[in-house]
Amino acid sequence: MFKNIIVTGGAGFIGSNFVHYVVKNHPDVFVTVLDKLTYAGNKENLAGLPSDRVKLVVGDICDKELVDELVQKADAVVHYAAESHNDNSLLNPEPFIQTNIVGTSVLISACAKYDVRFHHISTDEVYGDLPLRDDLPGHGEGPGEKFTPDMRYNPSSPYSSSKASSDLLVRAWVRSFGLRATISNCSNNYGPYQHIEKFIPRQITNILSGIRPKLYGTGKNVRDWIHTNDHSSAVWKILTEGKIGETYLIGADGEKNNKEVLELILKLMGQPSDAYDQVRDRPGHDLRYAIDSSKLRNELGWEPRYTNFEEGLQSTIDWYTNHRDWWEAQKTAVEAKYAKNGQ
Ligand SMILES: NC(=O)c1ccc[n+]([C@@H]2O[C@H](COP(=O)([O-])OP(=O)(O)OC[C@H]3O[C@@H](n4cnc5c(N)ncnc54)[C@H](O)[C@@H]3O)[C@@H](O)[C@H]2O)c1
């Protein structure tokens, strides 16, 4: 089994939650986090983790020499590092192409060279979007009405197209260079350590800061929410038991539209249900995401554990309430950027 793993992007939201998960559940594993600490990375996300279990290397996944040096000493690489925010990709796609595509190619080339196991973290957004349930004959439960691993890629934004490109590179490296890799495409995550530019933490920290929450358009867009701890357990399952060359979709049947999520946050934080502003919608805003995770459940026996969304949301609200020092310094700048964009 793996003793020495590299987690790229392990100081970001989902990557750091994965590092915490590994430290807690797999005592024999040493984790090297490779993270550039962009605006989205924060070494505080790893605070308190023992130094004999986790080491942070601040560096860029596009740095071939550094990647070569680290990969040759590792048993596996779990690749989370990415530019991850759709809105940023609409303002400036270039870093998305550099990190998400070029960076992935650097990592998989090194892993192929040293025959190191690679797991690629991707998103369900590579499939584009689905019609709303009411507009479908099977109301979202018929064949082809959720994302499945063999569905055609149809990304909408510079972010999702750069992730789609990286998935295709991984598939080609498996076929052409014998890379021992798996891919997972996950739906929208929520939980602690998520940057406050993202939908759920933005609304929570707006309320905590006395700013009215903001809803894009009418809020009808549906996301399939999964707690980040369930994402972590699924990734570990795929890393250790997944079949090389396969793609697994990770989801927890958590479809909710943005208006429902915002109204639930308002309720849990003791606010009136209409205490928010509607703002300019995101151009090309995907309508609905929904994951069919039956392959992962049936073939690898994975199940999500954090399926009560209201409870998960309450604990996320509690985390942001109790960690003001983690986010407060960034709040003004994040909201100013949105305001400039009419959002
Ligand atoms: N957030 C979601 O809901 C979601 C859903 C499905 C998949 N994903 C995927 O999960 C991964 C992590 O997403 P996240 O939301 O935690 O992102 P995030 O933006 O919170 O974290 C990304 C991390 O990568 C680091 N990074 C960026 N560029 C780098 C580079 N060139 N070299 C090294 N490190 C670099 C950043 O410093 C940061 O720590 C991404 O690949 C994303 O596509 C995210």
| Residue whose entry in the numeric block shows the structure tokens 């996320």 | 316
pTM over 0.95? The answer is yes
Residue closest to 190 by CA, chosen among 175, 204, 176, 177: 204
- Judged by DSSP in three states, 117 sits in strand
CA–centroid distance, 13 to ligand 1, in Å, is 7
Does residue 326 contact residue 44 with C-beta atoms inside 8 Å? yes
Q: Which of 37, 38, 79, 88 to mutate to test the pocket of ligand 1 (most atoms within 8 A of CB)?
A: 38
With a Cβ cut-off of 6 Å, ligand 1 is lined by 8-9, 11-15, 34-38, 40-41, 60-62, 80-84, 99, 103, 121, 123, 163, 186, 188-189, 195
The tokens of 46 are what?
């790893």
Catalytic residue of the set 35, 60, 83, 124: 124
d(C-alpha 3, C-alpha 26), whole Å: 9
Alpha-helical (H) ranges within the chain are 13-25, 64-71, 86-91, 94-96, 104-114, 158-177, 199-208, 228-241, 258-268, 294-300, 309-322, 324-340
Does residue 155 contact residue 163 with C-beta atoms inside 8 Å? yes
The sign of the CA dihedral 314, 130, 187, 282 is negative
Does residue 40 contact residue 64 with C-beta atoms inside 8 Å? no
Q: Is 159 a catalytic residue?
A: yes
% helix, strand, coil for the chain, step of 5: 45, 15, 40
Q: Which of 8, 21, 46, 80 to mutate to test the pocket of ligand 1 (most atoms within 8 A of CB)?
A: 80
Q: Rounded to whole angstroms, what are the CA distances from 290 to 129, 148, 220, 313?
A: 9, 9, 14, 19
d(C-alpha 237, C-alpha 303), whole Å: 10
For ligand 1, atom 22, the nearest C-alpha belongs to 12
> φ and ψ at 118, to 5 degrees?
-130, 130
pLDDT tens string for the chain (343 positions)?
Answer: 899 999 999 999 999 999 999 999 999 999 999 999 999 999 999 999 999 999 999 999 999 999 999 999 999 999 999 999 999 999 999 999 999 999 999 999 999 999 999 999 999 999 999 999 999 999 999 988 999 999 999 999 999 999 999 999 999 999 999 999 999 999 999 999 999 999 999 999 999 999 999 999 999 999 999 999 999 999 999 999 999 999 999 999 999 999 999 999 999 999 999 999 999 998 889 999 999 999 999 999 999 999 999 999 999 999 999 999 999 999 999 999 999 988 9
Q: Which residues are CB-neighbours of 178 under 8 A, at least 6 positions away? A: 112, 115
